């Protein structure tokens, strides 16, 4: 299970966007890299301060947001 304490929201860092603790790397940035086809190995190679646990926490954070999202069908 991912350690979500690795993700912090601090108004003084990137205007409160969720970031990886101790960095200015946002969750959406990491998810965006993966959406663009970067592998976890690519991310860790290019951002050596990050760990597998950081990437897993980003994915778990995004998953949590999506599973709590309420979607209502539009009636046309």
Position 6 confidence tier, pLDDT thresholds 50, 70, 90:
very high
Instruction: Give the total number of structural domains in the chain.
Output: 1
Residue 75 lies in a domain: no
Give the CATH number of the domain where residue 64 resides.
1.10.10.10
Check pLDDT > 80 for residue 76.
Answer: no
What count of residues does the chain have? 76
Residue 74 lies in a domain: no
Residue 25 lies in a domain: yes
The predicted model scores a pTM of: 0.87
Check pLDDT > 80 for residue 69.
Answer: no
Residue 16 lies in a domain: yes
Position 32 confidence tier, pLDDT thresholds 50, 70, 90:
very high
Domain extent, residue 24, equals 4-68
Give exposure, 8-30, as e/b (b: 16+ Cβ within 10 Å).
eeeeebbeeebbbeebebbbbbb
Residue 33 lies in a domain: yes
């Amino acid at each position: 299970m991912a350690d979500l304490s690795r993700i912090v929201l601090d108004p003084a860092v990137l205007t409160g966007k969720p970031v990886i603790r101790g960095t200015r790397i946002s969750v959406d940035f990491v998810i965006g890299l993966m959406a663009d086809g970067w592998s976890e190995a690519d991310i860790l190679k290019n951002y050596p301060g990050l760990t597998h646990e950081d990437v897993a926490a980003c994915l778990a954070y995004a998953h949590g947001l999506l599973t709590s999202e309420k979607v209502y069908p539009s009636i046309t």
